[in-house]
Every structure is written in structure tokens, then in C-alpha cells.
Amino acid sequence: MLPVLLLLGTLQNMVEAETIISVPNGGPWGGWGPMEVCGPDALVRGFYIKVQGDQGILDDTAMNGIGLFCTEPASLEVLKIIKSTEGSRGSWTGAKWCNFGYITSFSLRVQKPSWMGNTGANNIKFMCSDGSILEGDGMHWGEYGPWSRECPYGVRGLQTRVLGDQGFFKDDVGLSDAKLQCCD
């Protein structure tokens, strides 16, 4: 009986792992916050990001947070905003919305590690179920990586990796990576 229970537990973990989508170019800095999820009948249809602008010769952090708007499938009424962990710098940009449908995948613009200082994730793009692409109002450093796998029934959760303030003489990064949870 024990091998059957172990097998069932392994299969359940595999199914749960398949519902999380990620990108391969996320940065390694910071710790993962909690997975925040929409309500049971809600999907993510829009977003905004928290961005610190160019600081000149001072330390840049670029993207510091992602907020996803949970709505009923055919509505723009926000039922809940999910954010996970966010850095302390920057301000929230304007909202971006899928014209029709819901968000299904994403791509991160990430600066490669550098000895001159790191910013981690600088911007994000989301694919909508109608094929349209939404791009955040983030910074221009780094390159966009490959798209994540697609969530066929839409996105319902967000988890972010953030390196908080490191003190005056250390390199601050902000948000460095993200994962999304698919609707089952």
C-alpha cells in the first residue's frame, strides 16, 4: 500500500508542478515570495508594474513589482490585485489590459549579471489569449528571453523573486524573476 501512496503523491506533485510556468532567463538574486492567487472563478486579464527610473550614477533597481488584475472571464471589473513580494523602490505604472480574453504566458527582460551592478528584471511582456502582446512600461536594460509555456485556460497566480535593499554600499536589484500559476 505504501508504494501506491508514494506513487500517487509523486503524480500529484508532477501535476502541480506542471501548472506553474516560468522563464529560463530570470535572475538569481533574492528570495521567492508567496504564490498569490485569484479567487476560484477569476482569471488575470491585466497588469501594472512598479519601476524605478534611471538613477544616473546611483544604484538602479528597475522593476520592483508586478501587480496582476483578477477579473471574471468576460469583465474588466477588478475583483482582486495579486502582487507577491515587491521591492521598495519606484512607482506603479499605468495598467495594461487584454482587449479580449486573458493572460496566458510571459517573457522577462533581464540584465545579465555584471560586475558594474545588477538590475535583474527590467520589464515584462504578457501574451493574451487573443494573440495580442502587452508590454510593461519598464526599463530598457538587458534582453527579452524566450516566452514561458502557455496556460491554455489562463493565469490565476503570481510568485516573484525580489532582492530587497542591501544598504548604501551594496548592489540593490529589486525584482529578478517571476513564476505564474495556470488555471486548471
pLDDT in tens, 49-75: 998 766 555 556 677 899 999 998 778
Is position 140 within any domain? yes
Is position 157 within any domain? yes
Is position 87 within any domain? yes
Where do we find the cell 530587497? 164
Is position 129 within any domain? yes
pLDDT band at 157 (very low <50, low <70, confident <90, very high): very high
Is position 85 within any domain? yes
47-69 CB burial, b ≥16 within 10 A, e <16: bbbbbbeeeeeebbbbbbbbbbb
Three-class SS state of 41: coil
Q: Can you give the CATH number for the domain in which 87 is found?
A: 2.100.10.20
Q: Where are the alpha helices (DSSP H) in the chain?
A: 2-18
Q: Give how many domains the chain has, as a whole number.
A: 1
Is position 16 within any domain? no
| Residue range(s) defining the domain that contains residue 32 | 21-182
pLDDT band at 127 (very low <50, low <70, confident <90, very high): very high
State percent of the chain over pLDDT 70.
76
Is position 91 within any domain? yes
- Residue 86's pLDDT is 84
Is position 4 within any domain? no
- Residue 63's pLDDT is 79
27: CB partners within 8 A, 6+ apart? 110, 111, 113, 118, 120, 121, 161, 173, 176, 177
| Average pLDDT score over the chain | 81
Q: Please state the rounded mean pLDDT for residues 40-47.
A: 93
pLDDT at residue 81 tops 80: yes
- Residue 56's pLDDT is 54
How far apart CA 125 and CA 114 sit, in angstroms, is: 23
How far apart CA 16 and CA 182 sit, in angstroms, is: 10
State percent of the chain over pLDDT 90.
49
How far apart CA 81 and CA 37 sit, in angstroms, is: 9
